[in-house]
Amino acid sequence: MALFSKDLGIDLGTMFVRIAEGDQIVLQEPTIVAVNMEEELMLAVGEEALGMLGRVTETIEVIRPLQNGVVAYYELTRALLEILLKKVSGPLRIFRPRVMIAHPYDITSVERRAVHEAVLDVIRGGNAQMIPQPLAAALGIDLPIGTPSGNMIVLLGGGCSQAAVLAMHDIVSGETLRQGGLYLDEAIVTYVRRKYGLIIGQPTAEQAKLEIGAAVPQDEEKRIDLQGQDQVTGLPRSFSLTTGEIVEAVQEPLENVFEMVRLVLEKTPPELASDIIDRGIALCGAGALLRGMDKLMTQKLGVPTYLVDNPISCVAEGAVRTIELYPILQRNFPQL
Ligand SMILES: Nc1ncnc2c1ncn2[C@@H]1O[C@H](COP(=O)(O)OP(=O)(O)OP(=O)(O)O)[C@@H](O)[C@H]1O
Ligand SMILES: [Mg+2]
């Protein structure tokens, strides 16, 4: 290891980049960039760029460089990573970090290489390896996955959802659905258009989901006041949504997630499946914070499901831990 080397775990998500060093998160920024298209100039990244969403001129575009967990705009991803990695590690020429990047399970080798190359290009001379996100999450929540017993992780992100059964430091069966929290937001947008004839944007739908939303009906029904644009007249109009309405709106997209988890359980050898019924399914990712999500999954699948203590940070925290474990885990990592 070089004198000034740092070990970093990177969770490059559709909505957020999270970087862990040691046993804690040292950076969390929205995966978003603001670009002046005419001059091909990067104006802002992360939190600052997010603040520009929907409030910019014709020449400025605010872009999410990742879509559904994979790189959609290579150059923008590279530039974003360069800025964020410099923030946590200082001048990259001196501090050549050792990096572990967590990527969604079941993506193509081309998609995986795009992330790997972007990081390698930024940390010139540093070292970068990759780990599937469900494996990183399992290590980040201290699941005993080095044993022959089965453990199951469900990871709900913004752009994708993943389910995996793990044993012997490996993924025994898994699936990735290229739908996440953003898809729930879209379902709320559609619900409001159909029921009230009003158009709202994704950020408004997400705000409603975060403030009053749930996966199952709640004892306390909450209400949120919002503004929409009338479909017919184009004029702004106030309306309100209740918790029950959000529950109704998100059932269909959540059913797709349960279908994916069922598929993984079906593919799992019976001995491991019985371990999972005993131990329960660990629910991770910021999307797991939707109220009652654990309860609904338990009901729908008939397998006890629990929300982990660190659903948001576990992928990056697990990724950084694997740098030391790399010699043991290497055989299970995708070949680049
Ligand atoms: N309290 C909450 N209730 C419901 N949803 C939430 C809550 N907090 C965050 N979310 C949702 O979680 C999603 C973001 O999850 P996360 O930060 O894990 O995604 P990501 O890692 O950036 O994306 P991905 O892993 O899919 O590439 C967003 O859709 C957001 O609305
Ligand atoms: Mg994620």
Nearest to 285 by CA among 70, 14, 8: 14
Helix, strand, coil shares of the chain, percent, nearest 5, are: 40, 30, 30
Fold of the domain spanning 146-308: Nucleotidyltransferase; domain 5 (3.30.420)
Distances in Å between the Cα of 175 and the Cα atoms of 154, 213, 280, 336 are 10, 26, 18, 20
Cβ contact 271:145 at 8 Å? no
Ligand 1 near 285 CB (within 6 A): yes
So where are the chain's domains?
7-135+315-332, 146-308
Measure 228 CA to ligand 1 centroid, in angstroms: 23
pTM of the model: 0.95
Rounded to 5 degrees, φ, ψ at 107 are -100, 165
What tens digit of pLDDT does each residue of 231-252 get? 999 999 999 999 999 999 999 9
Measure 289 CA to ligand 2 centroid, in angstroms: 13
Nearest to 139 by CA among 92, 100, 188: 100
Nearest to 259 by CA among 189, 135, 181, 154: 154
Above 70 in pLDDT, residue 3? no
Rg (CA), the chain: 21
Ligand 1 near 14 CB (within 6 A): yes
The pLDDT assigned to 329 comes to 73
What tens digit of pLDDT does each residue of 5-63 get? 789 999 999 999 999 998 899 999 999 999 998 888 899 999 999 988 876 778 889 99
Q: What is the mean pLDDT of the chain?
A: 93
Residue type, 136: A
Residues 6+ apart with CB under 8 A from 259: none
Ligand 1 near 65 CB (within 6 A): no
Ligand 1 near 180 CB (within 6 A): yes
How sure is the predictor about 332, in pLDDT bands with cuts at 50, 70 and 90? low
How sure is the predictor about 336, in pLDDT bands with cuts at 50, 70 and 90? low
The pLDDT assigned to 334 comes to 63
Q: Which residue has the higher pLDDT, 60 or 216?
A: 216
User: What's the CATH architecture for 7-135+315-332?
Assistant: 2-Layer Sandwich (3.30)
How sure is the predictor about 104, in pLDDT bands with cuts at 50, 70 and 90? very high
Average pLDDT over residues 86-94: 80
What residues have a C-beta under 5 A from ligand 2, the ion? 13, 157
The pLDDT assigned to 45 comes to 96
What tens digit of pLDDT does each residue of 143-173 get? 999 899 999 999 999 999 999 999 998 999 9
How far apart (Å, rounded) are the C-alpha atoms in residues 190 and 267? 34
Ligand 1 near 183 CB (within 6 A): no
The pLDDT assigned to 39 comes to 83
**Most distant pair of Cα atoms in the chain: their distance:** 65
Cβ contact 276:150 at 8 Å? yes
Residue type, 186: E
Nearest to 127 by CA among 13, 5, 11: 5
Measure 303 CA to ligand 1 centroid, in angstroms: 23
Query: In this structure, which ligand is nearest to the CA of 70?
Result: 1
Atom 13 of ligand 1: nearest residue by CA position: 158
Query: In this structure, which ligand is nearest to the CA of 69?
Result: 1
Percentage of the chain beyond pLDDT 90 is 84
Residue type, 55: R
- Most informative mutation of 10, 12, 14 for ligand 1 (most atoms within 8 A of CB): 14
Tokens of 165: 């059964």
Strand partners, 204: none
> Does this chain's domain 7-135+315-332 share its CATH topology with 146-308?
yes
Query: In this structure, which ligand is nearest to the CA of 28?
Result: 1
Q: How many residues does the chain have?
A: 336
